[in-house]
Amino acid sequence: MSGRLRVGVLASGRGSNLQALLDACRQPGFPAEVVVVVSDREAAPALARAAAAGVPAVFLNPKDHADRAGYDAALLGCLAGHGVELTCLAGFMRILGPAFVRALSGRLMNVHPSLLPAFPGLAAQRQALEHGVKVAGATVHFVDEGVDTGPIIAQSGVPVLDGDSEASLAARILVEEHRIYPEAVRLFALGRLRVAGRRVTIDTEGGSP
Ligand code: GRF
């Protein structure tokens, strides 16, 4: 056993946040490792990234399950089977049911491309542009039963520029996602995150994760 925190990543798409986590875990001394990547889409580039990194890549087909509860239970079984201690959502496009969220409470994180609580849900960058905000950004948060509503672990802002398109703003935000997500995982692995109600604070010294 390496003694590192065992991380499972759920991803449906291109997997750039997964890649940021995989890259961080390759750094000497990083206190976590990705032990499994699960996707609901067989063709997700995220699965290819996992395989390229030598990490088990699992396609769990929603069509093999009668309902969301059945799928979520299969997901939980897969994560438990790999000894996962922290689950990271990284562009996972399925809504997870309350039983799943409760089972992993305090051990389930997500990254979202806005400064929450502004612009939850889909197309956060477009929502920011349409609203006309001058500062956008990224948030890493624990997942609760709402949509993008859980306690905030880390945020980083970026300017919205006059000529921005959805794509240019998304690219600027993504740089921050790739920075703050591995940092949040690192702090969790070191046992330095403390949750009190909605507030997450960072201990200067480690405890147990
Ligand atoms: C990211 O913008 C993330 O914030 C959102 O979905 C996108 C996933 O991108 N939840 P990627 O698959 O990590 O490249």
pLDDT tens readout for residues 10-29: 999 999 999 999 999 999 99
pLDDT in tens, 174-197: 999 999 999 999 999 999 999 999
Half-sphere exposure of 47 (CA within 13 A, CB side): 12
Report the number of distinct structural domains present in the chain. 2
pLDDT in tens, 31-63: 999 999 999 999 999 999 999 999 999 999 999
Specify the amino acid at residue 132: G
Same domain, 78 and 134: no
What residues are labeled active site? 112
Same domain, 77 and 169: no
Q: What's the domain range around 189?
A: 111-141+149-209
**Stated pTM of the model:** 0.96
6 within ligand 1 shell (Cβ under 6 A) = no
pLDDT band at 2 (very low <50, low <70, confident <90, very high): low
In whole angstroms, give the CA distance from residue 47 to residue 38: 7
Same domain, 99 and 125: no
Confidence at residue 186, expressed as pLDDT on a 0 to 100 scale: 98
Tokens of 90: 């990284």
pLDDT band at 1 (very low <50, low <70, confident <90, very high): very low
pLDDT band at 140 (very low <50, low <70, confident <90, very high): very high
Tokens of 34: 């990705």
- Tell me the CATH number at 180: 3.40.50.170
In whole angstroms, give the CA distance from residue 195 to residue 39: 28
126 within ligand 1 shell (Cβ under 6 A) = no
Walk across the sheet containing 32-39 and list its strands: 57-59, 32-39, 5-10, 86-89, 108-112, 135-142, 152-159, 199-202, 193-196
